[in-house]
Amino acid sequence: MDNSAIANIFDELAELLEFKGENPFRIRAYTQGAKAIRELDESVADIVADPDRKLSDLAGIGKTLAEKTETLLATGKLPQLEKLREEVPEVMMQMARIPGLGAKKAAKLQQALDIDSLADLRAACEAGSVAKLKGFAAKTEQAILEGLAIAEQAAERIYWSTGNELAAAIGRHMKACPAIETMQWAGSYRRGRETIGDLDLLVVASDRDAAMDHLESYPDRSQTIGRGETKISIRVGKAFQVDMRCVEANQFGAALQYFTGSQAHNIHTRRLAKENGLKINEYGVFKIDDDSQVAGASEEDVYAAIGLPWIAPELREDRNEFKLAQQDALPELIQLGDIRGDLHMHTTATDGQNTIREMADAAIARGMKYIAITDHSKRVSMAMGLDAARLREQWSMIDEIRPEYDDRLVILKGIECDILESGEMDLDDDVLAESDWVLASVHYGQRQSREKITARILSAIENPYVTCIAHPTGRLLNRRPPYDVDIDAVMKAAAANGTMLELNANPARLDLNDVHLAAAKKMGIPIVISTDAHTIDGMDVMQYGIKQARRGGLTPTDVANTGTFQQFQQLAAAKRG
């Protein structure tokens, strides 16, 4: 059982305990422990197996969590969790994901209306049954209906980052099978979709039964859904499905192209093949007249057969990739190694867990040449946001620290300044003028009208000291939809004012989305890919922002923080005139 699986169990345990009304401090201990385990850069199993180390010595992991972790590693089960799963219906967990509902109201609804599924909840809302309950109203009923789509999606899809961890774990397991000669992940995971519903693995194996047996031996397999001569489907954990297909070596490229998708991309590919007297399917590329195979062993051969260069999986959505391919103008997509700066991070001054020096050292270890310290402004009181006096103290500290880093790293004096409900900035312009880098963000009043939300962001964009808009639509995947903002107006204003837009790499945000990124690229708006790190390990989410940027077709020249510090500084200075 790997770190991710253990962390998921503790997260589930915390959620179930919340439903049971347990002590909030106890619940928080499990969520913090899950986070600590998930962000470890080494295996929990290795730590437990080392007689000279104690898991409970690690930050965020107490004696109780350490003991439960040892139980999970030894048995693969946790009796407390099994008992709670019996006591709390799964539908209550799904209902709690509906924005604004929460655990207590979900429990009340489930018990009062005998709801067994989200479909039951939808029917109850549509029949007006929810509004009749004490403590609920027609407005609440409507909000539940609107949020059901999010809950239904959360019940079926996981973050790409979570899928990536699972794919890596299964991949390590499958590499130990001597019968497997070639393997590759396909599907929406390979294309880098923000969330994925399952995983698709393609293999070439000398012994297909041995390959399937090996997948069935994966430690976290909970069920084999089906098994045939060339395909096997299993469930991992509680519900997530993993499919593996065995193909011949001369079919592998065609199968990889076919099962990677997207469906729209494949339809377009088949149309082009037909125009050239060919047909494409998962078995290869064939001549229509005599059914002879002309390609199929590699994806490059498949695309070459219809007169195209290989197209990166992230672009395969039938948007404009075929036009670009035909013009030999496919972009050289950005890669993680292109990033030179991280311009959104928090420290112990607000809600971060590490000091400025610790964040700076971690940034150097990750190859960064410049960073911006951007703690919250005072409006975010729950995170101990900074007022003008405390912010200036932090900036003085940065001035003192800078000489220690010489030419190794430039540390910028920044702030994540809230855009208030009134449209004003949370800090006065005379304070912002002293900064090197200002992120403007919306954290409160997210349910304001489209006109008000848009006006607030436009006001920030036009502020001469605001250099970038952070997580511009405010969405949280599977949890909160974007606020109602006129993103076209925001982009036009950003382009006109020289204000950059952030791609927040946090896997729960990935904001901007791929479509918005493509639009920003077309308008020439510099994108900043930032981690929004609250810990040292939080900097590692940059890879997810890169995957999203590739889906938007971004190259290094489209991203501001791929440049040298001098190049980046010129962009930032241009905004301030």
pLDDT number for residue 118: 87
Same-domain status, 118 and 168: no
Work out the pLDDT band at 154, boundaries 50, 70, 90. low
What CATH code is carried by the domain that includes residue 149? 1.10.150.110
Q: Supply the range of the domain harboring residue 315.
A: 252-326
Helix ranges (H only) for 217-318 are 252-260, 263-275, 299-305
Q: Which residues contact 147 (CB under 8 A, 6 or more apart)?
A: 98, 99, 100, 101
Do 286 and 345 lie in a common domain?
no
Asked if 480 and 473 touch (Cβ cutoff 8 Å), the reply is: no
- Between CA 375 and CA 377 the distance in angstroms is 7
Residues 100 and 194 in one domain: no
**577 pLDDT above the threshold of 80:** no
Q: Report the alpha-carbon distance of residue 548 to residue 366 in Å, rounded.
A: 20
Mean per-residue pLDDT for 213-225? 93
More confident residue, 153 or 407: 407
Q: Taking residues 447-461, what's their average pLDDT?
A: 96
Q: Give the pLDDT confidence of 107-127 residue by residue, as tens digits.
A: 888 888 988 888 899 999 999
Strand partners, 417: 440
For residue 142, being part of any structural domain is answered with yes
3-state secondary structure of 517: helix
Residue, of 57 and 454, whose pLDDT is higher? 454
Domain for residue 109, yes or no?
Answer: yes
Q: pLDDT class for 350, splitting at 50, 70, 90?
A: very high
**Whole-model pTM over 0.75:** yes
Task: Indicate the helix (H) or strand (E) that contains 295.
Answer: strand 293-295
User: Residue 151: is its pLDDT beyond 80?
Assistant: no
Q: Do 106 and 144 share a domain, yes or no?
A: yes
Section 47-73 average pLDDT = 90
- Cα–Cα separations (whole angstroms), residue 219 to 3, 8, 170: 13, 15, 9
Q: Is residue 540 part of a domain?
A: yes
Residue that wins the pLDDT comparison between 319 and 530: 530
Residue 153 pLDDT level (bands cut at 50, 70, 90): low
What φ, ψ does residue 520 adopt, rounded to 5°?
Answer: -65, -40
Residue found by looking up tokens 């927040």 in the block = 504
62 band by pLDDT with thresholds 50, 70 and 90: confident
Assess whether pLDDT exceeds 70 at residue 514.
Answer: yes
Q: Tell me: pLDDT of 239 over 80.
A: no
Task: Give 555's DSSP letter.
Answer: -
In a domain, 101, yes or no: yes
- CATH code where residue 186 lies: 3.30.460.10
Are both 348 and 493 inside the same structural domain?
A: yes
Residue 41 pLDDT: 66
Q: Would residue 331 count as lying in a domain?
A: no
Report which secondary-structure segment, H or E, holds 455: helix 450-462
Per-residue pLDDT tens digits for 351-376: 999 999 999 999 999 999 999 999 99
Q: Lowest-pLDDT range, 137-146, 163-172, 496-505, 519-528?
A: 137-146
Buried b (16+ CB within 10 A) or exposed e, 452-484: bbbbbbbbbbebebbbbbbbbbbbbbbebbbbb
> What is the number of domains present in the chain?
4
Give pLDDT, residue 222: 87
Read off the pLDDT of residues 460-502 as tens digits, 9 standing for 90 and up. 999 999 999 999 999 999 888 899 999 999 999 999 999 999 9
The domain boundary, picked from 155, 177, 194, lies at 155
- HEC states along 250-270? HHHHHHHHHHHCCHHHHHHHH
> 526 and 387, same structural domain?
yes
Q: Which residue has the tokens 């190049």?
A: 567
Residue 298 confidence (pLDDT) above 70: yes
Contact 381/388 with Cβ under 8 angstroms?
A: no
Q: State the number of CA atoms in the 13 A half-sphere of 344 facing the CB.
A: 28
84, amino acid identity: L
Q: Are residues 132 and 162 in the same domain?
A: no
Cis peptide before 161 (omega within 30 of 0): no
**Cα dist. 214→77, 171, 211 in Å?**
21, 11, 5
Q: What is the residue whose two structure tokens read 């889906």?
A: 551
530 plus 507 within the same structural domain:
yes
Per-residue confidence at 282, pLDDT binned at 50, 70, 90?
A: very high
What's the pLDDT band for 141 if we cut at 50, 70, 90? Answer: confident
pLDDT band at 98 (very low <50, low <70, confident <90, very high): confident
The pLDDT mean for the chain works out to 93
Report percent pLDDT > 70 for the chain: 98
Long-range pairs for 432-436: beta carbons < 8 A, 24 or more residues apart: 432/463, 432/465, 432/466, 433/465, 434/392, 434/395, 435/395, 435/465, 436/372, 436/412, 436/572
Longest dimension (CA), the chain: 80
* 456 pLDDT tier (thresholds 50, 70, 90): very high
Whether 470 and 342 map to the same domain: the answer is yes
- From 287, 308, 326, the end of a domain falls on 326
The verdict on 51 and 81 lying in the same domain is yes
Whether the pLDDT of residue 254 is over 80: the answer is: yes
> Residue 419 maps to which CATH number?
3.20.20.140
Structure confidence at residue 46 as a pLDDT band (50, 70, 90): confident
pLDDT, tens digit (0-9, with 9 covering 90-100), for 378-390: 999 888 999 999 9
Residue 491 belongs to a domain: yes
Structure tokens at 265: 């991309």
Residue 374 or 130, more confident:
374
Cβ proximity of 411 and 404 under 8 Å: no
For residues 344 and 433, membership in a common domain is answered with: yes
Q: What integer pLDDT is reported at residue 145 of this predicted model? A: 86
Contact between 385 and 375 under an 8 Å Cβ cutoff? The reply is yes
CATH number at residue 271: 3.30.210.10
- Least confident range from 16-25, 164-173, 550-559: namely 16-25
Q: Counting beta carbons within 10 angstroms of the beta carbon of residue 262, is it exposed (0 to 12), middle (13 to 18) or buried (19 or more)?
A: middle
Judge if 61 and 197 occupy the same domain. Answer: no
Q: Name the more confident of 36 and 363.
A: 363
Residue at a domain's end among 305, 326, 347: 326
Instruction: Compute the distance between CA of residue 564 and CA of residue 567 in angstroms, rounded to an integer.
Output: 5
Distance CA 498, CA 495 (A): 5
For residue 346, which of 396, 291, 386 has the smallest C-alpha distance? 386
